[in-house]
Amino acid sequence: EDQVTQSPEALRLQEGESSSLNCSYTVSGLRGLFWYRQDPGKGPEFLFTLYSAGEEKEKERLKATLTKKESFLHITAPKPEDSATYLCAVQGNSGYALNFGKGTSLLVTP
């Protein structure tokens, strides 16, 4: 059974203080690993898809990386508007469902 574990559950950063969020996964044949951002009361907003170990993708202050067992979301010099819950999900070769972790709640203070 696919499993996704995200850590930490919550993270508080000062503005400009870089850090990383972790997503550990087990899946029988990875089709893709997905990162989303979710603001309170809203739907998940798509950020990145990673398909194979060694792949990296960047968008503004965010960079996602992938190994065979985990993915990291690196946040460089975060701003208060980066505060949100970041969700990681995996999709296995056996189906189309996304299996989500419980997320990391990020708070960036000025």
Partner 1 sequence: NAGVMQNPRHLVRRRGQEARLRCSPMKGHSHVYWYRQLPEEGLKFMVYLQKENIIDESGMPKERFSAEFPKEGPSILRIQQVVRGDSAAYFCASSPDGSYEQYFGPGTRLTVT
Give the H or E element holding residue 7.
strand 3-7
- x-or-dash pattern for partner 1, window 73-102, by CB under 8 A? --------------x-x-x---xxxxxxxx
Min separation Cβ 2 and partner 1, Å = 10
Measured CA distances, 34 to 15, 86, 110 (Å): 25, 11, 29
* Rounded distance between C-alpha atoms, residue 104 and residue 54, angstroms: 23
10 binds partner 1, rule: CB under 8 A: no
Inter-residue contact 62 to 72 (CB < 8 Å): no
Min separation Cβ 20 and partner 1, Å = 20
Where on the chain is the footprint of partner 1 (CB under 8 A)?
31-32, 34, 36, 42-46, 49, 87, 89, 91, 95-103
